[in-house]
Amino acid sequence: MRLEQREKELAAIGASIGANCRPCIEHHVPAGREAGLSEAELADAVAAALEVGLAPAQVEAALKMAEYVQQRASEMTAEKATHVLEERGGASVDTATKELK
C-alpha cells in the first residue's frame, strides 16, 4: 500500500504532536498545506491528535512508524534517482532531479 503525501503528512502531524516535538509540528503543518491538506483537515488532525491522549507506548510506536516511513521514502527516492541516472547513461544529478519532479 502506497501512502499519498497528504496521508503521510497527516500521520507525521499526529506523531509530532504525540511526541510533543515543536520543530516537527512546525515543519509538518506547512508541509501538509503543501501536500494539499485544507485548513479544516489540518485543524481536525491537530485536534484529534491532542484529544486522543496517547499512552507513551503508542507515541513510541507512532514515532517508529514515522521513522520507517521517512526511511522508506528516502530509499525509494534514491532508487528512483539511480534508475533515472542509469537510463541517462550517467547524466548529472541536476538532470535526474528535474526528471523526478
> Quick check: is 90 in a domain?
no
> The whole model's pTM is what?
0.50
Q: Would you state the pLDDT for residue 8?
A: 87
> Quick check: is 67 in a domain?
yes
- Supply φ then ψ for residue 7, to 5 degrees: -70, -40
- Segments forming the whole domain that contains residue 61: 5-72
pLDDT at 1 over 60: no
> Quick check: is 34 in a domain?
yes
pLDDT at 68 over 90: no
> DSSP assignment, residue 90?
S
> Quick check: is 54 in a domain?
yes
Nearest to 30 by CA among 19, 18, 51, 46: 46
> What is the per-residue pLDDT across 70-79, written as a single tens digit (0 to 9) for each?
777 778 888 8
> Quick check: is 18 in a domain?
yes
> Quick check: is 68 in a domain?
yes
**CA-to-CA distance for 8 and 11, rounded, in angstroms?**
5
> What is the per-residue pLDDT across 3-62, written as a single tens digit (0 to 9) for each?
788 888 888 888 888 777 888 888 989 999 999 999 888 888 877 777 766 666 666 676
The domain tally of the chain equals: 1
> Quick check: is 15 in a domain?
yes
